[in-house]
Amino acid sequence: MLDVLPFDSVVIPRCSSVRSRMDKVEVLTRMLKSDNTSTILGGQSPGSVINSRKYVPVTAGARGDDQRSLDDAIRAALCGETRAAVVVGSEGSGKTTALRKLVADWAKGECLQNFSYVFNFQFREFGSSADELSLETLIHQGHHQTPPDFTRLVTEKPDGVLFVFDGLDEYKHSLDPSVHSLTSDLTRPASGSSLLASLLHGSLLKGAAFLVATRPTDNVRFLRGARVEVLGFRKPQREAYFNNFFTDSVAANRAFLHMERTLGFYEFCASPRFCWTVCSVYKWLLDSDAKLPETLSQLFADTLVHLIQTLSLNKACSRGLVLALGRVASHCLRGQHPSCPKHAVDAFGLQQFPTSVDSFLREHGEEELSFRSHLMREFVLAVAFFLDASAYEDAEKTLNDHKAGAKMLDLFMSGLSEPAQYRSLEDLLGTFSSGQIKAFKSWFRGRSEKALKDYNRSEHYRCFHLLHQAQNESLVKEILTPPAHPSIFHENLSLQDCAALNFVITCLGEREKLSVSRTTISRETMEILAPSVSLSHTVILSHCCIHKEALPLLASAVSTGVARDLDLSHSSIGDEKLQILCAGLRESKLHSLNLSVCGLTAACCGDLVSVLTSETSQLRNLQMMFNEIGDRGFTKLCEAMHSPNCRLQELQVRDCDLTAASMEAFAGGLGSGETQLRKVDFEGNVIGDSGVQALCKALQQPLCKLRSLRLFDSGLTGACCSDLKEVVMSEHCTLSELELSLNELGQEGALLLCQGLKRPSCPIETLGLTRCGLTPAVFEELASVLKNGTCRIKSLHLAINKVGDQGVKPLWDAVAHPSCLLEELNVEMTKLTDACVEDLCAALRANNTLRFLELRNNSLTDAAVPAIVQVMKEKHNMEELNLKYNNFSEDVFEMLEECHNIRY
């Protein structure tokens, strides 16, 4: 029940000193004793791990690059201010081994020599006795080598005592101090639970240090001290473990690479115990020249076959053992019991196999048994489901009955429904029930069809996980028909999600889009997703945390696949990572690259130029919005416009800290005759009137072919309009879109612009003048332009110019004119009232081209609705009239609902 590990640092007689050294030898012998495990499910024994001197430290502490060995993390915590540590980790993550190694290292004099005594407890045994006893008695009952004056020594120097407690999750009592009568007297008898609570809360032997190991449990919240999260084996530790396990380096490498490819995305692969199981099974398969498993179900099928073969049972007994184990598993999972009482085990049929059960079950305390592996517990239940149709009802009821305790049962059932994965078990256990297999597949198809109709991420991905486990390509194509799931978009994906997603996509083949967001893209993630990236025309990885090591793999997948569009927006790539990405994209066939909000500066622009000017460059659209590249970076980027290899047609540099200083360089590129640039968006850059002046000189050059210029919110005034007038009047002008919204052009500037728009061959088709300080005089002049018979304007945005009904009236006359070509008109927030409705309706009746009319945020009331509804019923060419945020009451909602093309 209790290991006492004493070492007295106080000056005592020579015989006691010798005795202490002997005690340390005895401690070391006990810690290093190789209590070899009889089953591959139990993991390598702590003693043999430490004895082998090939101990690979599991990692702990912060995730990411800041990881320490578990040993170091524990020692640091015990030397800290609280001198207490709580080690939390999942099943088989290495907690017990780490604790025993720590004690062994202390006994060897290698660490923690500030402690005179180390006491090692197992929680499941602590307090099992109903008798009351003191801590001193408890220690003496367990060990008889403590000095006669032990109580005095530890009382005088409690800070020289370390208590090590393992397995808090198996403790059946609460550690809440409020439910215990705490004691501070070492000699006073108390219950085991009270003694433990008194120790851990500092009432008993105050000043002593504590180390507690546990799986996640509610009792942790009652403990003080540093939390040490056990991450188990990350990929580097797994690789080292495999290299140590296999004597043949070729076999080690083959086994490791196979495990990472097929299983490395599961969280429990970080468990040292699971790695021991995998290595043991792989070694057996490699020695037998057998095929390594491709799924988790196949791994556990091989494990079960190996375990049963070592028991030398006939087929009937083997089947009976698995069915009995299935009943035990069902009992535990139905009631969420970690263990099963020994007296109840016979009722499940295990009395026929007194020695065989040790391979699967272990003692859990004095009166209970539990499965050595939680995963094997669910796997044997899945096997039992397919072996015995009479004991288990349909798949849905079986899964519902066990869903409280089972996490992998449906995955194992999916895997075992395929012949390739259950055939080896049939050879050993007898025939699987064809009815059960058929029933499961029927349930799975129905569940998947229902899940894919809803946009529920967890349901979609559970379906993908089941398909991945089944490894049946035809089943994937049957369930995920194109109408069922034309594109896949999800976020916050785990490695396991990515593996399932990749399997589904590779089965379906080339697709239009792969969209993943808010996901950490590590090297491991990209290794898994690379085939899917190569098969997708559009790859969206927005709002992702992309690791540097993943970028070469991403670039390679894009370059060798069919990808034409890559969206990395909001992914905070930064200059250093972009440099790596660009190096891999120079040979790509990308048409579009979105780097908006990626934390880029001027330093990245040279790398982008190298991509844009490569001999094989196909890049036509570059989005750089919301990056602080500034004038220096943009000037560098403009160098690409002089290269005959640059095929860039659209450039978005919205809010990139640009000023007039870089417009000369851009203008030079426009007039070079080499650039194919057709559209540029400068929104949110304060380039000012002088910047526009430089642009306008280039726009009048015969070699300039720019068609769209967006200067939304660019710090312009009416002073730039004379230059813009010259541009639109120029015979060389090719602009079809001019966006000038959110600039203070005013009446004078806007009227100048209108003069240019009257040129008979003016190419402008889209004009944006939202919130430009326009007046009724400007609206009247624009109406004149629209009616002149040569105007090509189809889209006109005049919102937030508050000219009122009379100001907008000339526009309604223009809309009614047969020469007007408008298809889209925006007069949102122009102070319209019901007084405009007659002119509005007359204009709509006379017009045959208008498709979109924006009237939001005006002052129309219920009185305007009947006339508007009536005319909209007549106008089949009108696709949308937006009346949102006017002064309508609920009384007219039913009337507005009569028109499908009215938004209100």
Average pLDDT over residues 258-270: 92
Q: What is the pairing mode between strands 852-854 and 880-882?
A: parallel
- What does the buried/exposed string (b/e) look like for 45-56 if buried means 16 or more CB atoms within 10 Å of the residue's CB? bbbbbbeeeebb
Whether 727 contacts 735, CB under 8 Å = yes
d(CA 595, CA 569): 5
pLDDT at 739 over 70: yes
- Give the three-state DSSP class for 758: coil
Model confidence pLDDT, tens digit, residues 704-716? 999 999 999 999 9
Average pLDDT for the chain: 89
**CA 19/CA 28 separation, integer angstroms:** 14
Identify the DSSP state of 628: B
pTM, two decimal places: 0.84
Distance of CA 774 to the CA centre of its chain: 49
Can you list the alpha helix ranges (DSSP code H) found in 471-595? Answer: 473-479, 495-508, 523-534, 551-560, 574-585
Token pair in block for residue 375: 């995963």
What's the Cα-to-Cα distance from 804 to each of 741, 760, 810, rounded to whole Å? 19, 30, 11
Answer yes or no: are the C-beta atoms of 602 and 573 closer than 8 Å: no
8 A C-beta contact, residue 364 and residue 170: yes
185: its two tokens:
């007297």
What is the average per-residue pLDDT within 304-308?
A: 95
Position 718 pLDDT exceeds 50: yes
Greatest mean pLDDT among 122-126, 185-189, 386-390: 386-390
Mean pLDDT over residues 3-32, rounded?
48
**What CA–CA distances, in Å, run from 522 to 274, 488, 546, 604?**
23, 20, 6, 22
Query: What CA dihedral angle connects 898, 902, 903 and 904, to 10 degrees?
Result: -60
The order of strands in the sheet holding 226-232 is 2-6, 117-122, 161-166, 209-214, 84-88, 226-232, 59-60, 68-69
Residue 67 confidence (pLDDT): 66
Cα–Cα nearest to 747, from 774, 720, 729: 774
Query: What's residue 18's pLDDT?
Result: 37
Of 193, 196, 139, nearest to 2 (Cα)? 139
Q: How confident is the model at residue 14 (pLDDT cuts 50, 70, 90)?
A: very low
The confidence score (pLDDT) of residue 128 equals 54
CA distances from 246 to 51, 153, 470 (A): 17, 48, 30
pLDDT tier, 490 (very low <50, low <70, confident <90, very high otherwise): confident
Whole-angstrom distance, CA of residue 491 vs CA of residue 468: 19
| Angstrom distances, CA of residue 326 to CA of 320, 348, 376, 383, 651 | 10, 9, 10, 8, 63
What pLDDT, in 10s, does the model give residues 565-593?
A: 999 999 989 999 999 999 999 999 999 99
What's the rounded mean pLDDT across residues 52-81? 69
Who has greater pLDDT, 869 or 31? 869
Question: Two tokens at 168?
Answer: 């808090």
- The span from the CA of 494 to the CA of 139, in Å, is 47
Between CA 605 and CA 160 the distance in angstroms is 61
CATH class of the region 2-232: alpha beta
Helix (H) or strand (E) holding 218: none
Indicate if the pLDDT at residue 384 is higher than 90: yes
Task: Give phi and psi for 369, each to the nearest 5.
Answer: -125, 145
Say what the pLDDT of residue 393 is: 81
286-295 pLDDT, tens digit each: 999 999 999 9
Name residue 228's beta-bridge partners: 87
pLDDT at 44 over 70: yes
Q: Which amino acid is at 45?
A: S
| pLDDT of res. 418 | 95
**Distances from the Cα of 38 to the Cα of 301, 311, 355, 372, 721, angstroms:** 19, 11, 11, 11, 88
pLDDT for 63 equals 46
**Lowest mean per-residue pLDDT among 344-348, 487-491, 788-792:** 487-491
3-state secondary structure 24-42: HHHHHHHHHCCCCCCCCCC
**pLDDT tens digits, residue range 365-377?**
667 888 999 999 9
The rounded distance, in Å, linking the Cα atoms of 683 and 599 is 18
**Contact by Cβ (8 Å): 734, 705:** yes
Tokens of 566: 């890559």
pLDDT at 896 over 70: yes
Judge whether 855 and 881 are in contact, CB under 8 Å.
yes
Alpha carbons 142 and 4: distance in angstroms, whole number: 8
Share of the chain above pLDDT 90, in %: 66
User: Helices 409-416 and 457-470, interaxial angle, to 10°?
Assistant: 40
Write the burial class of residue 674 (CB in 10 Å: 0-12 exposed, 13-18 middle, 19+ buried): middle
- Which backbone phi and psi does 717 adopt, to 5 degrees? -130, 180
**409-423 average pLDDT score:** 95
Q: Does residue 57 carry a pLDDT above 60? A: no
pLDDT tens-digit series, residues 506-548 = 999 999 999 999 999 999 999 999 999 999 999 999 999 999 9
CA 595 to chain centre: 20
Query: What CA–CA distances, in Å, run from 6 to 27, 254, 299, 440, 810?
Result: 9, 46, 45, 59, 100
At residue 37, the pLDDT reads 55
CB 377 within 8 A of CB 362: no
Distance from chain centroid for Cα 303:
31
Closest CA to 507 of 490, 482, 489, 527: 482
- Joined together, the tokens standing for residue 453 give 């109709």
Rounded-to-integer distance, Cα 120 and Cα 140, Å: 13
